[in-house]
């Protein structure tokens, strides 16, 4: 008895050491590897939040599918929003390798127990916002997500490689829409500037609170879940965006934005962190609307999901009776073939 306890203790120490060595060597932790419970919990929270962001993120742009101003733009937008559903699928699958289920995570989202990126709590007020979201919001998301391709948990990192590839395609599409509009009429150019004015600050807030106000960063960096701090990524985003705006012919709504020769970076003003926290805490312009939309879709789809389960059980029972299982397993499997926006474009 005593021996066994000692062995377990020894094993636990050994496992922790192995885990730490894997992290240190920047290798991947895989689902069947031992991991500290807190690491698992942190990851489930982060991956779920990321998956929810993809799914909630379908709504602001989805708002303009029916009103897209050309058939080509309608196809591009529908394919993009569809890609986001696909990203949600991969990420929920990554979370499932940690023992969470899609149903349970969705229930937590609609109960307000898990969050998603606050950027989606801002409204889309013009078709132009589709372009601005592609350029700035997807751009900021890529800055955040590229380092996650090297995150320590294998399934998450691999999902992120595909997500990033598609996101960078979306970003180009968004920028291309704005470029095209800038070549159009005076009203179109004014619409681009107006849209950029609304999305610039919320995009900067996507990197999260300042480092001295970000309690989870240190542990996440130690575990290799996170590889850069919020402020580092925010600076990088500003530095990349300014020349881009110049090429486009728009300005950012910040008088404090100027090149700092000494630092080798752009200086910029402090985002309105009161607004950030108000939106995070549920008082953003669209928080309730976004969650209510997701809840309605989920609730109204409940009878369909139940029917699919019942059908699978009924046909499995029939198959057992007749001993011919061959044609029953695919009957209610929806086609999940996801033609990406990029593939649609070819």
**Contacts (Cβ under 8 Å, ≥6 apart) of 154:** 28, 29, 30, 31
- Does position 82 interact with another protein (CB under 8 A)? The reply is yes
Closer CB to another protein, 22 or 220, in the complex: 22
- Does position 86 interact with another protein (CB under 8 A)? The reply is yes
User: Whole-angstrom Cα distance, residue 2 to residue 314?
Assistant: 52
The only residue of 43, 47, 76, 238 in contact with another protein, by rule CB under 8 A: 76
User: Which string of x and - marks every residue 110-139 that binds another protein (by CB under 8 A)?
Assistant: -----------------x-----------x
Closer CB to another protein, 134 or 271, in the complex: 134
Closer CB to another protein, 82 or 275, in the complex: 82
Minimal distance, residue 187 CB to another protein, in Å: 7
- Does position 172 interact with another protein (CB under 8 A)? The reply is yes
Closer CB to another protein, 168 or 197, in the complex: 168
User: Whole-angstrom Cα distance, residue 148 to residue 160?
Assistant: 6
- Does position 108 interact with another protein (CB under 8 A)? The reply is no
- Does position 67 interact with another protein (CB under 8 A)? The reply is yes
Helices 154-182/71-96 angle, 10° precision: 160
- Only one of the segments 62-70, 114-122, 218-226, 321-329 lies at the binding site for another protein (rule: CB under 8 A); that segment is 62-70
User: Whole-angstrom Cα distance, residue 266 to residue 238?
Assistant: 7
User: Whole-angstrom Cα distance, residue 315 to residue 303?
Assistant: 18
- Does position 291 interact with another protein (CB under 8 A)? The reply is no
Q: Could you say which residues in the range 302-341 bind another protein, by CB under 8 A?
A: 302-311, 314-315, 331-339, 341
- Only one of the segments 59-67, 205-213, 250-258, 260-268 lies at the binding site for another protein (rule: CB under 8 A); that segment is 59-67
- Does position 149 interact with another protein (CB under 8 A)? The reply is yes
The only residue of 11, 14, 16, 30 in contact with another protein, by rule CB under 8 A: 30
User: Whole-angstrom Cα distance, residue 8 to residue 73?
Assistant: 61
Q: Could you say which residues in the range 204-223 bind another protein, by CB under 8 A?
A: none
Class of residue 91 by CB neighbours under 10 A (exposed 0-12, middle 13-18, buried 19+):
buried
Rounded to whole angstroms, what are the CA distances from 253 to 3, 100, 194, 242? Answer: 68, 42, 10, 12
H/E element holding 259?
A: strand 258-260
Q: Which SS3 state, helix, strand or coil, does residue 31 take?
A: coil
CB 215 within 8 A of CB 175: no
């Amino acid at each position: 008895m005593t021996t066994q306890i000692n062995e377990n203790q020894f094993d636990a120490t050994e496992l922790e050491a192995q885990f730490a060595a894997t992290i240190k060597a920047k290798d991947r932790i895989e689902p069947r590897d031992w991991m500290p419970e807190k690491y698992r919990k942190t990851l489930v929270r982060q991956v779920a939040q990321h998956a929810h962001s993809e799914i909630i993120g379908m709504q602001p742009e989805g708002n303009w599918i029916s009103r897209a101003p050309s058939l080509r733009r309608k196809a591009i937008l529908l394919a993009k929003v569809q890609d986001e559903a696909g990203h949600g699928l991969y990420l929920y699958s990554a979370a499932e390798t940690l023992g969470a289920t899609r149903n349970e995570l969705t229930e937590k989202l609609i109960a307000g127990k898990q969050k998603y990126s606050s950027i989606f709590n801002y409204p889309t007020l013009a078709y132009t916002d589709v372009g601005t979201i592609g350029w700035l919001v997807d751009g900021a998301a890529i800055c955040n997500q590229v380092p996650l391709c090297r995150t320590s948990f294998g399934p998450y990192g691999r999902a992120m490689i595909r997500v990033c590839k598609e996101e960078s395609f979306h970003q180009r599409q968004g920028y291309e829409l704005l470029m095209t509009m800038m070549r159009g009429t005076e009203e179109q150019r004014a619409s681009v500037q107006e849209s950029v004015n609304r999305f610039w600050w919320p995009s900067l807030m996507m990197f999260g609170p300042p480092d001295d106000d970000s309690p989870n960063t240190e542990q996440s960096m130690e575990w290799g879940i996170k590889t850069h701090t919020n402020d580092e990524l925010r600076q990088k985003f500003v530095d990349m965006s300014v020349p881009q705006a110049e090429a486009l012919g728009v300005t950012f709504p910040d008088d404090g934005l100027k090149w700092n020769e000494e630092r080798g970076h752009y200086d910029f003003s402090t985002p309105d962190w009161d607004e950030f926290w108000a939106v995070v805490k549920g008082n953003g312009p669209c928080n309730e609307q976004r969650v209510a939309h997701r809840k309605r879709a989920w609730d109204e789809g409940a009878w369909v999901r139940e029917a699919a389960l019942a059908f699978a059980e009924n046909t499995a029972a029939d198959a057992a009776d007749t001993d011919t299982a061959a044609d029953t397993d695919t009957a209610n499997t929806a086609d999940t073939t996801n033609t990406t926006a990029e593939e649609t474009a070819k």
